[in-house]
């Protein structure tokens, strides 16, 4: 498997609007997308785009507020009520090769690759097999090739 760029850091929050204000007013973010609900993951989400070098796209903070308590982010917030870093997402050139790689290493891939919030195929690898870090693997968007 070939590791690509870090696409985003998933940050869970109990209050998305307050987190948007935090990144805008405290962190000086100038490029925050409009929130939308991703029913399949039971989250309301938006992206804080950070600048890259020489005008290239930087990485993103993916802000996630659960729409139900009985969801991955909802359960996590019960244990981490202030919110915080929930997962990290890396890009790979080939999602199916990456899935086979992790499975061969005996790591728990959570479900089949599915379309994620960026419109490309993703899967997650269990945090207990990844040094405590819930890890999202995402196929590099085609236009980025
Ligand atoms: C905007 C959408 C975008 C996309 O999908 O495109 C997203 O990024 S959506 C993000 C939300 N979706 C997910 O996180 C899907 C993957 N996550 C899962 O399948 C579950 O959260 C899972 C399997 C990691 C944990 O679920 P479970 O029902 O087993 O919850 P437990 O509380 O029993 O957790 C078991 C064990 O794992 C630890 N844990 C849970 N979440 C995390 C985490 N984010 N980072 C690190 N560790 C985590 C939890 O503390 C438990 O450990 P223990 O020592 O037993 O207390
Ligand atoms: Co994510």
- Both tokens assigned to 136: 């999202």
Give the binding-site residues of ligand 1, using a 6 Å CB cut-off: 10, 38, 41, 43, 45, 62, 64, 72-73, 75-76, 86-87, 110, 116-117, 122, 124, 126-128, 132, 134, 136
CA angle 12, 86, 29 (to 5 degrees): 55
CB 86 within 8 A of CB 135: no
Question: Catalytic site residue 136?
Answer: yes
pLDDT at residue 145, rounded to an integer: 45
pLDDT (0 to 100) of residue 129: 98
Q: What is the pLDDT of residue 144?
A: 53
pLDDT tens, 105-139? 999 999 999 999 999 999 999 999 999 999 999 99
State pTM to two decimals.
0.95
| Residues in the chain where the model's pLDDT stays below 50 | 145
Model ipTM?
A: 0.97
Q: How far is residue 139 CA from its own chain's centroid?
A: 13
Residue (of 62, 85, 59) closest to 5 by Cα position: 59
């Amino acid at each position: 498997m070939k590791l690509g760029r870090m696409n985003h850091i998933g940050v869970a929050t109990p209050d998305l609007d307050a987190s948007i204000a935090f990144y805008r007013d405290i962190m000086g973010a100038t490029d925050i997308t409009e929130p939308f609900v991703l029913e399949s993951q039971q989250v309301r989400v938006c992206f804080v785009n950070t600048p890259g070098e020489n005008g290239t796209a930087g990485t993103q903070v993916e802000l996630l507020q659960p729409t139900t308590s009985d969801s991955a982010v909802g359960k996590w917030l019960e244990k981490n009520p202030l919110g915080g870093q929930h997962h990290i997402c890396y890009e790979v050139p080939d999602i199916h090769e990456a899935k086979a790689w992790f499975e061969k290493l005996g790591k728990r891939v959570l479900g089949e690759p599915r379309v994620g919030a960026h419109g490309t195929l993703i899967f997650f690898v269990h945090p207990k097999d990844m040094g405590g870090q819930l890890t999202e693997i995402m196929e590099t968007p085609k236009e980025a090739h």
